[in-house]
Structure 1
């Protein structure tokens, strides 16, 4: 067996395991009613004990007779829940003379009407490694908004296999109701294979003409940045997008109002404006560019941050502000971050009353450094109001 075959086998086993987790050992409820004489039977059972074994352990209540089961099916032959319960009960009585394939083929013909039936189907197909059918049933659970966390895990594992990923992409391109909840789920993006699978899914959607909205990338983008794949994150985010400035996007803070939430780390290439006990940062408003910083001079707060698209090297920067704020220009500092490595920009000069010039103290060692705007600690601790109208960051010869 080749390395590729072993990897695919391993992924297949993991996917089957995730599919079986959709059912687990949780007790389910099967119910049906015989309408003509108001017969109603509700039975607790465990799916993982059913059908592939000859009998199902009793739960305390005696199983209904086969005659009652047959009358219930005759009364409502198109009811998937009734057929599912009949299948379970006949199996529990030990009188199941039909092969499992016959039962489950018929059960599948009913469509996607019953969650317990879907869980039976997913167990049946997963135990036989019928991954395509597992995805069909997981899709149905998504559409019914049932067992969505487990169904998300099934699809996430499918994304790690190129052939199965094509199936996932096909389903996503049809814009099912579960598309956005699935793509916004970040709890499955915990290992390199899952991260790469989701990245390739989104790239394939983009390359095949899908207009992938930014919101559907917000689960993946910060994960890519966190694991050192910032270039991939920027490529994904910027694909087909117009009006992106480099290396600092939105240099005049025109769109900063859309990312003002302090907890919003899902849009790393937009401005993230922060607020705290001693300060707040707000967009200027009324369609005007810029942000207004209010700070009481205490602490060393970070006012705003953005993941830039700059390359490694030395930089110079020009900062624009209101003329009445010229005296506060040095109270606000700037630095570029490469992970935990900090490269400060130092004040150079003020060419006029509305601008100040800065430069890096040393070349920036990484691509895509994070720009931070912060408060400079002073002895006076005076209240400061500073209107920041724009930033022009430019790479220079080292």
Structure 2
């Protein structure tokens, strides 16, 4: 990212500055609507604007506003609201020295007034003082005001490496907005946003722990944008799974069962993602000390029962479903595929299994990537009858 040097705030991109100012305006407009009802002043104060872009400010006598707020502060020197109104009046009256004096006092004194925080954000953006922008935006978000606009502003910081430190520093303090910011996929639409979030998470992991729900959106988007190796490495580092090269993770559904017991709904791409719906789905049950995956399907649609991205070198693979009778019905209903990004799916066809309690499928083509996705789904050419099956495990192995 190219930046222009500015004497007030260091490096800054024109695009980022324009967006930030636009966000500040959006924050102020939102804040004005939500904050107007909070004012509890006497009747003379109700006409005084409390945010810079208050539409009624143009119709008021700015000099009188300044005098009125000075009078208020003389009688109520601890009034944060009066100080904020003086700040706005000073700007309207074109008195920069007074505006600066009021703003300097507010930075340590008026943290409880949401309108004041909105105005201080505007000033910090104008002066390109990023640390102050974040300080006041963080304070405003903690009050539950203009939360979405503030999170969008934080996302701009995340895109600029030299400014990301302010975001990381705030996130390490576990603010109330941390989960909403990290878990949402709304700000992970471009590869640039995904890469920036990866750097944020890496910085957080350097001194702390990142929760599962804070990682779920990122790992999925990393895989979707072609960064499966990095996503896999992040998953291994944070979750410490028991993985083996060229084989499935959690082939006996033990981890999937534990997540189900604990009520965890988010599943990472490298773990079993189990689908359930009205026409088809899966259910994990414990039977005889082991986990059993039950499949059901009424024959409508083409359901994906289970899928997982696995680290596996390019090769010809065989998949075995354990704990299920190798019946003709199962061979006709269940299908298995291996998918590599940008390539046709490799269908595994039924083959002879080692025992009567297994159902085996083998490919006749080699995969061409290191992170294929395995899918267990209902064959589209099945006869449409109701179908049920129970598995105790799934195994992936290179064909001998």
2:376 is matched with 373
Distance 2:152 2:90 in 1: 32
What's the counterpart of residue 184 of structure 1?
Answer: 183
CA contact (8 A) 1:56 1:91 kept: no
C-alpha distance in 2, partners of 1:91/1:298? 67
Q: Does 1:229 align with 2:227?
A: yes
Q: Once superposed, what is the RMSD of the aligned Cα atoms? A: 3.2
Q: 1:214 aligns with which of 212, 215, 221?
A: 212
1:284 paired residue number = 285
CA positional deviation for 1:31: 4.1
Aligned to 2:46: 41
2: CA distance between counterparts of 1:157 and 1:379?
A: 50
Q: Equivalences for 1:336-347 in 2 at 5 Å?
A: 336-339=338-341, 341-347=344-350
* Gapped regions of structure 1 (runs ≥ 5): none
**Equivalent residue for 2:354, pick from 326, 351, 354:** 351
2-structure distance, mates of 1:342, 1:370: 10
Give the secondary-structure state (helix, strand or coil) at the position aligned to 1:281: strand
Residue number in structure 1 paired with 2:274: 273
Matched-pair contact (CA < 8 Å) for 1:293–1:387: yes
Post-superposition offset of 1:373: 0.5
Which position in structure 2 is the counterpart of 1:161? 160
1:218 offset after TM fit, Å? 1.5
Query: What is the CA distance between 1:85 and its match in structure 2?
Result: 1.3
Query: Per the alignment, do residues 317 and 269 of structure 1 end up closer, same or farther by CA in structure 2, a change over 3 Å counting?
Result: same
Q: Please say if residues 254 and 290 of structure 1, whose CA atoms lie closer than 8 Å, have aligned partners that are also in contact.
A: no
Structure having the higher helix fraction is: 2
| Partner secondary structure for residue 239 of structure 1 | helix
Which residue, out of 307, 310, 322, partners 1:308?
310
Deviates more, 1:265-274 or 1:177-186: 265-274
Is 1:241 aligned with 2:244? no
1:22 and 2:30 equivalent?
A: no
TM-score between both structures, scaled by the size of structure 1: 0.84
Answer with 94-103 or 61-70: which moved more: 61-70
Q: Which residue number corresponds to residue 297 of structure 1?
A: 299
Structure number with the higher strand fraction is 1
* Residues 15-63 of structure 1, C-alpha deviations (whole Å, 9 max, x = no match): 56325413336272494625xxx7542445662489xxxx95116x998
Q: 1:11 to 1:394 in 2, by over 3 A?
A: farther
- Taking a change above 3 Å as real, the CA distance of residues 353 and 314 of structure 1, as seen in their structure-2 partners, is same
Which deviates the most, 70-79 or 382-391?
70-79
- Distance in 2, Cα, partners of 1:126 & 1:293: 56
8 A Cα contact 1:259 1:272, kept in partner: no
Q: Report if aligned partners of 1:19, 1:151 keep a CA contact under 8 Å in 2.
A: no
CA contact (8 A) 1:20 1:126 kept: no
Shift of the 68–100 alpha-carbon distance from structure 1 to 2, 3 Å rule, reads: closer
Shift of 1:142: 2.1
Q: CA deviation at 1:284?
A: 2.0
Task: Report the alpha carbon displacement of residue 66 of structure 1 after superposing the two structures with TM.
Answer: 5.1
Q: Within 5 Å, which residues of 2 pair with 1:96-245? A: 96=95, 98-206=97-205, 208-245=206-243
On the 8 A contact 2:86/2:102 being kept in 1, the answer is no
Distance 1:385 1:235 in 2: 36
More deviation in 19-28 or 367-376? Answer: 19-28
Contact 2:51–2:88 (8 Å) recurs in 1: no
CA distance in 2, matches of 1:283, 1:79: 60
Count of aligned pairs between the two proteins? 381
Gap change, CA 1:316 and 1:72, over 3 Å in 2: same
**Distance in 1 of aligned mates of 2:351 and 2:96:** 88
Q: Secondary structure of 1:132's partner?
A: helix
For the Cα contact (< 8 Å) 1:32–1:85, is it kept in 2?
A: no
Q: Secondary structure at the match of 1:282?
A: strand
Classify 1:6/1:266 alpha carbon distance in 2 versus 1 (closer, same or farther; 3 Å).
farther
Aligned counterpart in structure 1 of residue 365 of structure 2, from 353, 362, 365:
362
How much has 1:275 moved relative to structure 2?
A: 2.5
